Structure 1
C-alpha cells in the first residue's frame, strides 16, 4: 500500500498545523510556505480536510482554518481516509457485491480482506497527529 501525493501532503500539512498553538488560525499560503507543498495543492487539501471535518474554516480578515479537534484526537487513519476514502487494500475488499475483479467468483481470499483492511486501519488509527508532530 502506498499513499498518493495528496494523502502524503495532507499528513505533512496537518503535522505542521499541529505544531502551532491550538486556536491559531492557519492559511494555505502559510502552510504551503512552511511545508513546501505547492500553494494550489495546499488550497485544495485545506478544502478537502475541512469537508472531512478535520479543519474548520472562518472567513474574513481574522479568518483561516483551525483543527476541529486536539491533535491527540486526530489519527493518521482520519487524515488518510479524508483524502483517499475508506481504506481498502484490494478492489474487492470494500465491495459488498461482485467487484470488477476477474477472480471474484472463485476467490477464497475476498472474505478475509476486510479483516486485513481493518488491521491496517487499526494500525493507522493508533498513530495520532500529536505523535507525528512531536
Structure 2
C-alpha cells in the first residue's frame, strides 16, 4: 500500500501547520514556502483538510489557517482519510463495491475488515504532535 502524493502532501502540510500551534495563524502561501510544495497543491490540500474540519480558515485582518483542534487530537488516520476517504486495503470491504469476480466464493473476504481495522488503528495511534517533531522519536518494537 502506498499513499497518494496528495495524502503525503496533506501530512506534510499538517505537520507544518502544527509548528504554528499556539501561535498566530499561517497562510497557505507560508505553508507552501515552509514545505517546498507548490502553492496550488497546498491550496488543494488545505481545501480538503478544511472540509474535513482538520484546519480552520479565518478571513480578514489577522486571518489565515489554524488547526481546528489541538495537534494531539489529530491523527495520521484523520489526515489520510480527509484526502483518501475511509482506509481500506481492498474494495470488497465496501458493501456497495462489487469490483471483484471472486466476491461470491472468497474465503478471505471476511478477514479484510479485521486487517483494515488494524491498519487504521496503527495510523490512529500516531498523533500530529509526533509528526510535527523536528527529530523523529524512534521506538523499538
TM class, shorter-chain normalised? over 0.9
1-structure distance, mates of 2:106, 2:41: 39
What residue is the counterpart of 1:16 in the other structure?
A: 16
SS at match of 2:44: helix
Q: Within 5 Å, give how 1:45-56 maps onto structure 2.
A: 45-56=45-56
Please identify, of 19-28 and 73-82, the stretch whose mean Cα deviation from structure 2 is larger.
19-28
Q: Which runs of 4+ in 1 moved over 4 A?
A: none
Q: Deviations over 1:40-93 (max 9, x none)?
A: 010011110000000111111321111011111100000000000000101112
The question of whether the paired residues in 1 share the 8 Å contact of 2:76 and 2:128 is answered with yes
Corresponding residue number in structure 2 for 1:102: 101
Match runs of 1:1-134 below 5 Å? 1-93=1-93, 95-97=94-96, 99-134=98-133
**Aligned-partner Cα distance in 2 for 1:124–1:20:** 23
- TM (norm. structure 2) is 0.90
Structure 1 unpaired stretches of 5+: none
How many residue pairs get aligned? The number is 133
Q: How far does residue 13 in structure 1 lie from its aligned partner after superposition?
A: 0.7
- State the SS of the aligned residue for 2:95: coil
TM-score, length-scaled by structure 1: 0.95
Structure 1 residue matching 2:65: 3-state secondary structure: strand
Query: Offset of 1:23 from its aligned partner?
Result: 4.4
Gaps of 5+ in 2: 134-141
Deviation at 1:37, TM superposition (A): 1.1
The RMSD of aligned alpha carbons is 1.1
